[in-house]
Amino acid sequence: MYQEKLFIKLRSFLRKTGFTKCLAKFYIKKDYEAKFENSLLALIKENDIIYDIGANRGFYTKKFLLKATAGKVFAFEPVPECNVVISDLLPLYKNLVVYPFALSSNNGEFPMSIGNDKLNATSKLKTERGENDILVTVKTLDNVIQENKTVPNVIKIDVEGYELEVLKGMKATLKNEKVMVVAIEVHFKLLENNGQKDAPHQIVNTLTQNNFKVKWIDPSHIIATRGRN
């Protein structure tokens, strides 16, 4: 745990000094997410139930579908333009379910800003609605599982600074032994901007308290495993 705290503090310090921007530029040239992607895909079994939370336009969704050929993939994506793109996969994959809502710590409706990047990848939930924001439906993962009666084996979370809120909404889910892999992109800057400077530590602590073994794959991605290597 001491090493985790030290890593998180070092990561935050390097970001503030601007070093992580230089590091990111280097890693982008070297395919920054490749190690995370390969590490995650290597853990997936063909009969897995996978929840892709923050699916965007389906980059990981498609890879999950190709790995879990005898399982099922649930893609969560509230941005309308992105949801349409993922929904185009439905006729091709009978084991795909697409949900047009976001996940967080509470049920309701929340404002979301739409990212102006090409893939809308920087879209994120907000606490106050801006002029160009949209309202999206938000549910807790625990509530979703109560409704669909399907517990995932693998969960991937990429929600632009709301990763801790997603974890808060899946307390019962994390206790279920069927969940064996939780992979998260940790957005240090966005979490800090949301007033959650200690969120990276809380994320790790939440997972370890539920008997997951947490590993930092790179400065922004963690993969937590329980009962699967």
Rounded CA separation 207/205 (Å): 5
pLDDT in tens, 96-137: 999 999 999 999 988 887 766 554 455 656 566 667 777 889
CATH number of the domain bearing residue 131: 3.40.50.150
Q: What is the pLDDT of residue 123?
A: 60
More confident residue, 160 or 15: 160
Structure tokens at 76: 């969560």
pLDDT in tens, 46-79: 999 999 999 999 999 999 999 999 999 999 999 8
Count of domains observed in the chain? 1
Contacts (Cβ under 8 Å, ≥6 apart) of 211: 226
Q: Domain limits at 184?
A: 2-225
Contacts (Cβ under 8 Å, ≥6 apart) of 37: 60, 63
